Amino acid sequence: MVTMLDVSGVGHRYGTGAGANLAIDELSFKVEAGELACIVGPSGCGKSTLLRAISGLLTPSSGEVRLHGDLVQGVPSDLAVVFQDYSRSLFPWLSVRANVEFPLRSRGLSKAQRHERADEVLEWVGLSGAARKYPWQLSGGMQQRVSIARALACRPALLLMDEPFASVDAQTRFELEDLLLRVRRQFDSTVLLVTHDIDESIYLADRVFVLSKSPASIVADIPVDLGSERDQITTRESDTFVHLRSEVARLLQMRSPETVSTADGRTAAADRAAADRWAEAERAESRETARN
Ligand SMILES: Nc1ncnc2c1ncn2[C@@H]1O[C@H](COP(=O)(O)OP(=O)(O)OP(=O)(O)O)[C@@H](O)[C@H]1O
Ligand SMILES: [Mg+2]
């Protein structure tokens, strides 16, 4: 396998002196080419800080990031990011097609090539009919499809996604998750997606990295053996899925990495029971949403 992303000892501290805030702490992991990896972690643990460091938008206080072997210093041209807040990431004065074409302008494509590329990715996200519309004429889910199309149009070596489906309703979220699974196969993309949603991380990923509370460190690297064909109802009901979601929920419930290192059957009974109750409640809610 070829390593696409190599994050080595990355830490970041905001501010200096007494007011300094250590957001992420010595994170190391790799994402292989063609893999879809999810990072799941509690709110405020440092997920966006990590993605900003990977994308070159922020220079980490320590460690280094390599994309296909090249040291990341500034935003690489073959990397694309999709953010949660689609309403602020699209240009309201440009049509859908012009939004998708926009980043291609700096990549030396002719007008005809830009057009062709935009039409192709818009078809892939099911928005061929909306190419002449403006973002504000579209629903939230459709706007996020435009953001995904724009990212894919650049044929990025790595697609980074920061809670990309957190601002849409549950049904749209499922549709967008399935869309992502389809397009990553079509474009053979390497994807690193950050979420705080356990189910989403397992449903989408080949591997899930579980982060601790702030300052974030990696407490587990879990392979997801669910195959490539996934379905919102049957996959989420499968034994493998149910087992994995309990495992991730348990890891996220841990109060510190030290507690986790003694896990695996030796977790405090109260923690385990609480995690199981939480996992069961989330599972029931997901089933309900998938059926509606
Ligand atoms: N620009 C900044 N300046 C100072 N501190 C920051 C800055 N951005 C983030 N932080 C702090 O770093 C920590 C991690 O924030 P970050 O946004 O990376 O977490 P997150 O996991 O993405 O949160 P969320 O789940 O809310 O998206 C938090 O304590 C936050 O207050
Ligand atoms: Mg964030």
Q: Write the pLDDT tens digit of every residue in 65-118.
A: 999 999 999 999 999 999 988 888 899 999 999 999 999 988 888 999 999 999
**For 211-223, what is the HEC assignment?**
ECCCCECEEEEEE
Which tens digit of pLDDT belongs to each residue from 116-142? 999 999 999 999 999 999 999 999 999
Name the residue of 14, 167, 195 to mutate for ligand 1: max ligand atoms within 8 A of Cβ.
14
Ligand 1: which residue has its CA nearest to atom 16?
46
Torsion-angle region of 33 (φ positive above 0: left; ψ -120 to 50: alpha; else: beta): beta
Which segment of 31-35, 41-45, 265-269 scores lowest on mean pLDDT? Answer: 265-269
- The answer to whether residue 23 sits within a structural domain is yes
Q: What percent of the chain has a predicted confidence (pLDDT) above 90?
A: 69
Structural domain contains residue 113? no
Residue 126 domain-assigned? Answer: no
The answer for residues whose C-beta is within 8 angstroms of residue 244's C-beta and 6 or more apart is: 202, 208, 222, 224
Euclidean distance between CA atoms 22 and 225, whole angstroms:
34
Instruction: Report yes or no on 209 lying in a domain.
Output: yes
Residue 260 maps to which CATH number? 3.40.50.300
Q: Is 56 domain-assigned?
A: yes
What range defines the domain where residue 22 resides? 3-78+156-291
Going from the Cα of 194 to the center of ligand 2, the distance in angstroms, rounded, reads 8
Tally the domains of the chain.
1
9 compared with 288, residue with greater pLDDT: 9
Question: Which pTM was predicted?
Answer: 0.86
Residue with token string 């080595």:
8
35 with 190: CB under 8 angstroms? yes
Do 206 and 181 meet the contact criterion of CB atoms below 8 Å apart?
A: no
- Residue 288 binned pLDDT confidence (cut-offs 50, 70, 90): low
